[in-house]
Amino acid sequence: MVAALIDNARTSFAEIGTSIGLSATAVKRRVDRLRDAEVITGFTATVRPSALGWLTEAYVEVYCDSAAPPRRLAEVVRNHPEIAAAMTVTGAADALLHVRATDVAHFEEVLERIRDEPFIRKTISYLVLSHLLPDSPEAGARQAAPDEPPTGATILPRGA
């Protein structure tokens, strides 16, 4: 049941029930219990970032001065819509950022804004060339087949 919802959150309870031998009502009750227990925390749409104009992707290691607590870093990354994910990490870096930008110049602007923070000592960046697991959450949505152009895609200008 959970696997079906992870695969497609819009799958109807009737469809799930048919596949696992339960009624739609029984599936709904179980999903409600999973939501109440916070096993299922929400339902979401996955979007192919390139269809929204995010054509450049990078991971950025962030090295902070020793006085920078994680909550301060969290405040900063919330101010950058280009940062798709951010986490503190073990190892030499203090944090790892997943950044999406419209192009390399836009990525450089984002990197400069991040580096402008007084407690950030240095950054090391890694541009993503390709996704080896195209269905992973980090890749965005499932990749369209090469002969399937995105339908209804709108490319947003930088800053939109």
pLDDT digits (tens, 9 = 90+) for 48-87: 888 888 899 999 999 998 767 888 899 989 999 999 999 9
Residue 100 within a domain = yes
User: What are 139's two structure tokens?
Assistant: 């890749």
Angle, helices 24-36 vs 13-20, to 10°: value is 110
The Cα-based distances of 102 to 5, 10, 24, 68, 99 in angstroms read 31, 29, 43, 29, 10
| This prediction's pTM | 0.70
Residue 144 within a domain = no
For residue range 3-59, list pLDDT tens digits in order. Answer: 898 888 899 999 999 999 999 999 999 999 999 999 999 988 777 888 888 899 999
Single out the residue of 40, 42, 63, 154 nearest to residue 117, CA to CA: 63
62 and 96 fall within a common domain: yes
When pLDDT is averaged across residues 129-151 and rounded to a whole number, the result is 60
Residue 134 within a domain = no
Residue 73 within a domain = yes
**Structural domains of the chain, count:** 2
Residue 23 within a domain = yes
Residue 102 within a domain = yes
Task: Give the structural domain span for 17.
Answer: 2-36
56 and 116 fall within a common domain: yes
What ranges in the chain are assigned the alpha helix state H?
A: 2-7, 13-20, 24-36, 70-78, 104-115
Please say whether the beta carbons of 64 and 94 come within 8 A: yes
Between CA 87 and CA 70 the distance in angstroms is: 9
Rg (CA), the chain: 20
